Copies of this chain bind each other. A is one copy, B any other.
Amino acid sequence: MANLDQYRKFVQEIIIELHGYNQGNLNQGVDSQMILDTDRDHYLLLDVGWQDKKYVYAVFVHIDIKDGKIWIQRNNTEINLAERLQVKGVSSSDIVLGLHSPFLRQFSGYAIA
């Protein structure tokens, strides 16, 4: 049985850690934001702002918790978030690679939904 409070803690730990790396890497004018909506269980890491004359709007990581499972909705990094979650103790059957199609998920070793 999933321990939701633990799952929330694990997901937030990952976002906070990546946010820490990201902040050291930013241009003036660009904000690195971590978004932790613990009421609706949405967790994001993104950059937003102006770098010279270009607008930067980039969501790097988006993880949700729904129906007791952790959904990886977006991962524009080379960090394997599912593996990180497993190291923390999350069972593969409680992780859904939302960013892969439902068809492909059956070959992932993780939950389909």
Contacts and interface: CB of A to CB of B under 8 A. Distances in A.
A8 interface: no
Number of copies: 2
A53 interface: yes
Contacts of A40: 33-36
A35 B101 CA distance: 23
A30 to B, nearest CB: 11
A64 B36 CA distance: 13
Contact of A37 (B36, B98, B99): B36
Interface stretch (A44-52, A77-85, A86-94): A44-52
Nearest to A48: B73
Interface string A97-113: 01101100000000000
Given A35-B35, A48-B62, A57-B74, 10 more contacts: A35-B37, A35-B42, A35-B44, A36-B40, A37-B37, A44-B44, A49-B98, A53-B101, A55-B99, A59-B59
